[in-house]
Structure 1
């Protein structure tokens, strides 16, 4: 086992995996190639009918590919292929696309290509990578986050999109694509990550000169606070940049953010709130930050020596066990699994609700513990 999971924790993960198999087989049969996001009263609607370029639209396909990889059941593969074809119209909607093309096409086309060698999927992935590279801003050295009216903004989330560029650089033998990814990661080291292991959500540059201007609050409580999903993006994203570059700066950064995250999560018995620097009351949870951080910690554990691994593995297991024991809906007739996910602190509509990427990272985390996961990133 690459993570040296205890026998007790492995048995727990096996039990959860059994529940996931039942739940996801039922969901796959019911949802099909619809694109889920947030269920209402336990029922998903098709997010693709509203917007094919919404940033979460790849996660259902990512779950399907993870299930196919772990079980070899063709239903998951066939359904994921249908979702990928639907997203072709999203590729055509150039004006609606932003930095999150990695979230969209890593989990669809690139996952398909890695597993099946489908040449059409390879082209889709490379096309998406070209779009991401086209958002690079040489003045400032960052990948622009959003579109018209939001010039000059870079965000921590984009670290999780960089693997699309690392993959495409290797596929095309194009060093320029890798250099763009590295430039954005270096910008994050300078301006987004803080010395104490906390991080900003977003930073703003002068779009003409690249001069750093400020760091507004973003989706956390306020400027200078500590939005936990941003912290999880930083752990996982920096660990991934280390995987693809071998640059120790990224490994050290991932460790720094991981230690900060673990210390704060432990204070609340591994029940992760939306922001580590928000008022104690009211308490708002974000399980999506917890499960993403768990996956990032397991990625980090793969990069360190044997005597360091237990810190990250044990913390990841505690995060996942807390979710599995307190925040999961296992009724196969109800859509979604992980409850109490939150999009942002100051918006009630997607605060403490089930969100599809919470399910994705929970599934990935369990499969990592069992050494059955597909490396999508």
Structure 2
């Protein structure tokens, strides 16, 4: 096995490196579901795990530019393996958006495959079924253990699942999916986004009355802290909701959260896993938050006048350059594209590891630099 440690000089070279890297990884894992890399090797999860779509998403991003790569066939095999959790209610959660946008929606938009369309609409129906009229929120999870009650929990991550609902309304002409996405987004504006642009990770509702019970720290350091990846979910998700609806309140909220994120970055340009850490707390970097934010910035740049667009695009370029320099992997000894991702620091899981969703958003941002839409973007005809 050869090793290269030189850093590519431009985004074109990084894109090509990522494509070659993906070709090598396909040879080992094929149609599997990588999640986090340990000691240089991606560990794979079961199909019901929330990250099961991101590997397929990477494959579709490269397939779109080179259909002869063979990546599309591997992505279709991954999609077929997701049929089992699609039919098993107890294992599903709000992250069906992450899972089936990057598998079935991508396949349908690329190929017109009718089976993929039905799969994605089934997933959208499951997601819509998690909506609680009392509180206007989409419930995040089913119980993780016997006796646990998650019925009142909503989390900021769900903003990235809403494009599945917008897409379902577009492809069927049925506005009900869209109405639910809008109601959930309005709830986020009211209860998740703080005055300074920082974001709660979890808000707990009384599921019978809809009243807010409390905010929870979740994957952040504390309830009133500022979890970096949650901030990037909000940046991107609010921007996508604006692109799907044209509601100016969503654009203003996206800008507000974005400006908080950019102001909280340190001199090395890579976000710390939580932007409000006490001095004695562990200060791991989170490249996945940076990659998601870079893609969000490029999405936001499409939504604003030219002078603002240039500013957001420059911030995206700068963030990508920092990620490449500080976190980019250019060695064959490591299967992740981005080092130094922080999965769930409070629980001690994947505190300094490559993460497949970080890799996905990194590749997606590079694809946007090449003029493509993201796979979450509205009516992205590839």
Q: CA deviation at 1:374?
A: 4.6
State whether residues 154 and 203 of structure 1, in contact with CA within 8 Å, keep that contact through their aligned partners in structure 2. yes
Deviates more, 1:328-337 or 1:13-22: 328-337
Q: Which residue of 2 aligns with 1:119?
A: 114
Query: How far apart, in 2, do the equivalents of 1:207 and 1:134 lie?
Result: 14
Q: CA deviation at 1:74?
A: 4.1
Q: CA deviation at 1:329?
A: 1.7
Q: Which residue of 2 aligns with 1:219?
A: 219
Q: Which residue of 1 aligns with 2:169?
A: 169
1:39 counterpart SS class: strand
1:137 aligned to 2:137?
no
Q: CA deviation at 1:37?
A: 0.9
What whole-Å deviation, never above 9, does each CA across 1:131-187 have from its counterpart, x for those lacking one? 000000000001011113212111100000000000001111111110000000000
Normalising by structure 1, what TM-score? Answer: 0.94
Q: CA deviation at 1:11?
A: 6.8
Query: How far apart, in 1, do the equivalents of 2:278 and 2:370 lie?
Result: 37
1:254 aligned to 2:254?
yes
Consecutive unaligned residues in structure 1, runs of 5 or more: 1-9
Normalising by structure 2, what TM-score? Answer: 0.92
Q: CA deviation at 1:269?
A: 2.9
Query: How far apart, in 1, do the equivalents of 2:230 and 2:312 lie?
Result: 18
Query: How far apart, in 1, do the equivalents of 2:267 and 2:215 lie?
Result: 27
Q: CA deviation at 1:260?
A: 0.7
Alignment of 1:175-186 (within 5 A): 175-186=175-186
Q: Which residue of 2 aligns with 1:94?
A: 89
After superposition, the Cα gap between the structure-2 partners of 1:268 and 1:280, relative to the gap in structure 1 and judged at 3 Å, is farther
Q: Which residue of 1 aligns with 2:271?
A: 272
Which structure shows the higher helix fraction?
1
Query: How far apart, in 2, do the equivalents of 1:303 and 1:257 lie?
Result: 15
Alignment of 1:72-87 (within 5 A): 72-87=67-82
1:349 counterpart SS class: coil
Query: How far apart, in 1, do the equivalents of 2:267 and 2:279 lie?
Result: 11
Q: Which residue of 1 aligns with 2:50?
A: 55
Q: CA deviation at 1:318?
A: 1.3
Query: How far apart, in 2, do the equivalents of 1:305 and 1:33 lie?
Result: 42
Residue 27 (structure 1) aligned to one of 25, 47, 61: 25
Consecutive unaligned residues in structure 2, runs of 5 or more: 1-7, 144-148, 378-382
Q: CA deviation at 1:337?
A: 1.2
After superposition, the Cα gap between the structure-2 partners of 1:253 and 1:350, relative to the gap in structure 1 and judged at 3 Å, is same
1:197 counterpart SS class: coil
State whether residues 339 and 352 of structure 2, in contact with CA within 8 Å, keep that contact through their aligned partners in structure 1. yes
After superposition, the Cα gap between the structure-2 partners of 1:188 and 1:142, relative to the gap in structure 1 and judged at 3 Å, is same
State whether residues 110 and 122 of structure 1, in contact with CA within 8 Å, keep that contact through their aligned partners in structure 2. yes
Q: CA deviation at 1:286?
A: 0.7
What whole-Å deviation, never above 9, does each CA across 1:305-362 have from its counterpart, x for those lacking one? 0011122111111111111112122223532111111122313221111110010000
Deviates more, 1:256-265 or 1:328-337: 328-337
Query: How far apart, in 2, do the equivalents of 1:153 and 1:88 lie?
Result: 26
State whether residues 101 and 375 of structure 2, in contact with CA within 8 Å, keep that contact through their aligned partners in structure 1. no
Query: How far apart, in 1, do the equivalents of 2:322 and 2:9 lie?
Result: 15
After superposition, the Cα gap between the structure-2 partners of 1:329 and 1:269, relative to the gap in structure 1 and judged at 3 Å, is closer
State whether residues 26 and 333 of structure 1, in contact with CA within 8 Å, keep that contact through their aligned partners in structure 2. no
Query: How far apart, in 1, do the equivalents of 2:140 and 2:124 lie?
Result: 15
After superposition, the Cα gap between the structure-2 partners of 1:92 and 1:110, relative to the gap in structure 1 and judged at 3 Å, is same
What whole-Å deviation, never above 9, does each CA across 1:247-269 have from its counterpart, x for those lacking one? 0000000000001111111x333
2:70 counterpart SS class: helix
| Root-mean-square deviation over aligned CA pairs | 1.4
Query: How far apart, in 1, do the equivalents of 2:306 and 2:233 lie?
Result: 24
Query: How far apart, in 1, do the equivalents of 2:267 and 2:124 lie?
Result: 39
What whole-Å deviation, never above 9, does each CA across 1:104-129 have from its counterpart, x for those lacking one? 00000000000000000000000000
Deviates more, 1:282-291 or 1:182-191: 282-291
What whole-Å deviation, never above 9, does each CA across 1:83-122 have from its counterpart, x for those lacking one? 0001111102211101000000000000000000000000
Q: Number of residue pairs matched?
A: 364
After superposition, the Cα gap between the structure-2 partners of 1:248 and 1:374, relative to the gap in structure 1 and judged at 3 Å, is closer
Query: How far apart, in 1, do the equivalents of 2:9 and 2:221 lie?
Result: 38
1:344 aligned to 2:339?
no
